[in-house]
Amino acid sequence: MARWGMVIDLDKCTACQACVVACQVENNVPFLGPDESQKGRSIYWMKVVALPEGKFPRGKVRFLPLPCLHCDNPPCVKVCPVDATNITPDGIVRQIFSRCIGCRYCTTACPYTRRSFNWYGPEWPSPMAQALNPDVSVRPKGVVEKCTLCHHRLQKARANAQAEKRPLAPGEYTPACVESCPSRAMVFGDLDDPNSEVAQQARSPRAFRLLEELGTKPKVIYLAEGERSGSITG
Amino acid sequence: MKLDRRNFMLLAGGAAGGTAVGGLTLKGISRLNEALAPEMGSYPGEEKVAISLCRSCSGGCGLRVRMVGGRIVKIDGNPDYPVNRGGVCPKAQALLQWLYHPDRVLAPRKRSSAEQKWETASWPEALQTLAETLQKLRSEKRRNNVVVVSGRDTGLAQSLLARFLAAYGNAALFHLPSGMEVSQHALGLMGGSPAEDAGRLAYDLENSRCVMSFGCDLLQGWGTPAHTLRIFGRWHDSNRERRTSLIHFGPRLSISAARSDEWVPARVGTWAAIALGIAFVLISEDLYNRDFVENCTFGFDDWTDAAGRRHLGFRTLVREEYRLSRVEELTGVPTETLVRVAREFAAGPGAVAIGPQQSPGQPGRLTDSLAVHALNALVGSIGARGGVSLVPDRGWSLPDSPQKQLQASRSLEDLQQALEDSPQVLVLDEAALLFDLLTTAQQEKLQKIPLVVTTASLEDATTAWATLHLPDCTPLESWVDGQSPSCYPYELLSVAAPVLPPLGESRPWGETLMALAHATDPAMASDIPWKEMLDLLRASTEQLAAQEHGYLFGSDVDEQWQRLLERSGWWVPDWTSPQQFWEAIAERGGWWDPVSWPADPQRSFPTPSGRFEFFPQKLEEWLRQQPHPGVSVTSPEWDRLVLPHHSDLLPPSDADQFTLLLDTYEPLSFFGGGGREIPYLQQLSSPLGDSQWRSWVELSEEDALRLGIHNGDWVWVESAAGRIRRRALVIESAMPGIVSAPSGGAPARGRWASAEDSLADILVPVPDPILGTRCAAVTRVKVYQV
């Protein structure tokens, strides 16, 4: 059984946010108009977060593409009273939208703030619904949603492999964000396969995990920028 | 009451709250709800993959389109397209929201004035309206009666427009600025242009070792974004032998500055001084490329002209007038930094200096561009691997006599003048960017023009002023052609078939032009004989099939193989006949020549001296024809005017009243002018802040504290020209004294439109001291709370 994970090389990331839009399009993530969006209720399964450090002329800004980190020990799963979120044997923290009762315990429990609540029903003014991905269900008002690592793509790839009676090949399953990245800053695959690119990169001396001390064991691993990157010489 | 999910939750909530239903648990509710959830409908149809091209900016990246049951549901990059090789920027990712936008205009419409309501018209009726006006005006030989503004840089539709206007005979054609004009002009003056045309500025960034950016927003609105982003990833690939370093100079903490290896904050308008300071280090430490400078350049050492007059050489100028202490004083960049980055720049081949700025609203000053190119010459990077060059600008062309095309002007000043001259007809084609550059007062004057035509595919800034609408469709709905985009080093031609038929009655602009030509004057049929874009594309391909170099698009493995073959002197054509060439490029997406960048460094230059000129003689010749009061042609001052030099950008006036400097930039979401109407792009905002569907102004934390402004406050930004309201975005590590503002903002038209003050209203454009054209828009301002 694979253990799916992702490595994001912050040295290659350009903060272009192609991954943000790729994810929204792939997963039918609703958008908000000018008024509602001012309330901070817009939903991003993947968001590029800026982390300013220090003041001019000594400071720098880091950019962190932040999807759900698919923790091996996910705090959100533990608090769900209805098993609407759980972890699959291959390590994907799933969200079963139709089970969610909207209690939002999970949004509070997630230390990475990667869960969003649907304050509004999705609106796709005609003909925008034409672009909806038929592989992903549209969430109603009142449920929590989050990154599923494009789980539907795994199901599809697996079905194809099974139909052809062969194992799933590396690269056959890739989430939309990884596929879109123009600077190839993201690598995806089986962390348990020591020969996979993702496992090799995860062993890099530059590798780190977010808030590791919480014991959440995220499967999204970051590679730090080079020492010099983003330095200022004032 | 219908028992659906929502009603069920209400019922169950009430039941659980009361005691009517004993033993009902949250889990029970959840499972019942799951059972009631609608089954996902049957799969809506066959799945297909097609290729297309993006036209959101001039980059024209290759797209791979996923279709299910005749609908497009996802767009990614085409992995075989050499420019972007599978990756695309967020603009292309969001193309679906353009295609299926609820404010698409799907039929021609007209109205008597901009205040009236639109009335739907038929295509023959709408074309007749325009054709009749054009016929009437054709006999009146008044200048600027018909003004056409196009945001399309290149392509067959653009050539067709130029051909139509040339045949029509009495019109002015303007292209919107790309930002590369001044740098390109400067390199043309110093290094000459390729024989056939003015050439195209290109950088071989893929092979650069050290890139010095003079204020270019390299990772946002610059060049061809998806290409630059891809190359940036390669620079930082740990499997590569060596990491390419990026050093960014400039006052603004941009994303490019933050993601560079070193951001060197510098005062506004000091690009030339920085470049000449670095040149000082290269010359005094003997780090410059002696072979290139001694054998292939002119004007480096002092020289004597044919009349026996001594001239100042570049070396003397730099050594005497750009000592590091003075440069530090001018620019604010410490001497140690200048020395360190200069040494790094000269540490080996593949160093390139880019800029200054190269953004459509701020193309940079000519003399600053000359200084930047002088640096490239000092390290021998003109026409060399990893460097910069002017390459022939070959693209799709009309099948015969290209001379029958109206030359387009790229001068914003001339365009503004033409609009002032009260034209009778104004045609706006993909010209949303123009409305970022015009002030509200200038826009309002458009109302006086009797016939304003727009080709916008959806409600945007251009539809606000139009009285006749001939809606274009998106590139996904028509035949579309592409060629080497901005700054891209290789020759390339691409083509893609429509993925969908045009929605509603919308029609590709090229085909509208063909119909318009026939309606205006049947005699034009000899110049424009085609009825559809497909006919024209096929006719153009005939010529292209004759070329004896290059390959059809393939994977990057094919690319490596082709390079290997060429290195050994082999070229194996992928086609044998024009017919086969057409079929192959239509299937594979295009043709390119991956070895068209100079393999050997350029040693001779098409200039008067046959060398690269630090003292551009063509510029001198041109300057002699212009009035330059106070500078005698025989004085050393004259040489200083011609050579790259520093001069103050802004006059000191109003410096006491307006103590901050406003710098503008183009965020990636709005690069090229469009995108304001697209919800996913509006939600991107800046990663530095969170300001969706509206624009903002960026302040350093130090200035914000001093002015008592908090993040998210409404502030007035006031200049000598006026004041606008914006939300403040406070950035901790930004440089004090600098305020920056993005172009774009809230949509001007459509269902999500909101009124927002225009940034152009407070900008005081700075004219280039030599060219007289707009070179920068840095403006003295003050900021205070609303």
Instruction: Summarize pLDDT for B510-554 with one digit per residue, the tens.
Output: 999 999 999 999 999 888 999 999 999 999 888 888 888 899 999
**Comparison of pLDDT for B34 and B312, the residue scoring more:** B312
How far apart, in Å, are the Cα atoms of B348 and each of B381, B519, B645?
11, 61, 26
Q: Which residues of B touch A49 (CB under 8 A)?
A: 687
Residue B250, min C-alpha distance to chain A (Å): 11
Looking at residue B659, its pLDDT comes to 95
What distance in Å separates the CA atoms of residue B379 and residue B279, rounded to the nearest whole number?
10
Residue among A50, A131, A183 whose CB faces B233 most closely = A183
Q: Is the model's pLDDT at A101 over the cut of 70?
A: yes
Looking at residue A227, its pLDDT comes to 73
Q: Which residues of B touch A24 (CB under 8 A)?
A: 680, 683
Q: Do B692 and A38 touch (CB under 8 A)?
A: yes
Residue among A55, A182, A185 whose CB faces B226 most closely = A182
pLDDT tens digits for range B36-86: 877 665 678 899 999 999 999 989 999 999 999 999 999 999 999 999 999
Q: Do A16 and B100 touch (CB under 8 A)?
A: no
Residue of A nearest to B262 (CA): A231
Query: What string of DSSP letters covers B588-656?
Result: H-EEEETT-S-SSPP---SSTTSSEESS-HHHHHHHHTS--TT--TTSHHHHHHHS-----SS-STTTT
Q: Is the model's pLDDT at B589 over the cut of 90?
A: yes
Residue A29, min C-alpha distance to chain B (Å): 10
Q: Which residues of A touch B752 (CB under 8 A)?
A: 33-34
Q: Which residues of A touch B740 (CB under 8 A)?
A: none
Residue B540, min C-alpha distance to chain A (Å): 32
What distance in Å separates the CA atoms of residue B574 and residue B588, rounded to the nearest whole number?
11
pLDDT tens digits for range A159-199: 999 999 999 998 999 999 999 999 999 999 999 999 999 99
Looking at residue B581, its pLDDT comes to 93
Residue A4, min C-alpha distance to chain B (Å): 22
Residue A144, min C-alpha distance to chain B (Å): 13
Average pLDDT over residues B227-247: 94
Q: Do A17 and B690 touch (CB under 8 A)?
A: no
Residue A92, min C-alpha distance to chain B (Å): 20
Residue among A81, A137, A180 whose CB faces B76 most closely = A180
What are the start-end ranges of the E strands in B252-402? 262-264, 297-298, 303-304, 310-311, 351-354, 388-391
Q: Do B5 and A141 touch (CB under 8 A)?
A: no
Looking at residue B20, its pLDDT comes to 41
pLDDT tens digits for range B289-301: 999 999 999 999 9
Closest alpha carbon to B415 in B154, B149, B702, B96: B149
| Helix/strand/coil percent split, chain B, to 5 | 35, 20, 50
Q: Do B736 and A31 touch (CB under 8 A)?
A: no
Looking at residue B13, its pLDDT comes to 52
Q: Do A130 and B100 touch (CB under 8 A)?
A: yes
Q: Do B93 and A22 touch (CB under 8 A)?
A: yes
Looking at residue B19, its pLDDT comes to 40
Residue among B99, B255, B751 whose CB faces A15 most closely = B255
**Cβ pairs bridging A and B (under 8 Å):** 251
> What SS3 state is found at B352?
strand
Residue among A128, A184, A204 whose CB faces B97 most closely = A128
Looking at residue B15, its pLDDT comes to 46
Looking at residue B672, its pLDDT comes to 86
Residue B1: pLDDT band by 50, 70, 90 thresholds?
very low
Q: Which residues of A touch B6 (CB under 8 A)?
A: 140-142
How big is chain B, counted in residues? 786
Give residue B696's region: left, alpha or beta (phi > 0; psi -120 to 50): beta
Looking at residue B41, its pLDDT comes to 59
What interhelical angle do B366-378 and B181-191 show, nearest 10?
50
Q: Which residues of B touch A52 (CB under 8 A)?
A: 688, 731-733
Residue B1, min C-alpha distance to chain A (Å): 19
Residue among B76, B100, B687 whose CB faces A50 most closely = B687
Q: Which residues of B touch A32 (CB under 8 A)?
A: 679, 683, 692
Residue of B nearest to A23 (CA): B93
Q: Do A182 and B77 touch (CB under 8 A)?
A: yes
Average pLDDT, chain B: 92
What interhelical angle do B26-36 and B5-17 show, nearest 10?
160
**Comparison of pLDDT for B415 and B685, the residue scoring more:** B415
Average pLDDT over residues B318-340: 97
Looking at residue B322, its pLDDT comes to 97
Residue A121, min C-alpha distance to chain B (Å): 11
How far apart, in Å, are the Cα atoms of A73 and each of A87, A218, B83?
9, 8, 42
Residue among B72, B693, B702 whose CB faces A56 most closely = B702
Average pLDDT over residues B609-636: 91
Average pLDDT over residues B596-622: 91
Q: Which residues of A touch B68 (CB under 8 A)?
A: 134
Q: Is the model's pLDDT at A26 over the cut of 90?
A: yes
Residue among A16, A40, A54 whose CB faces B219 most closely = A16
CA gyration radius, chain B: 28
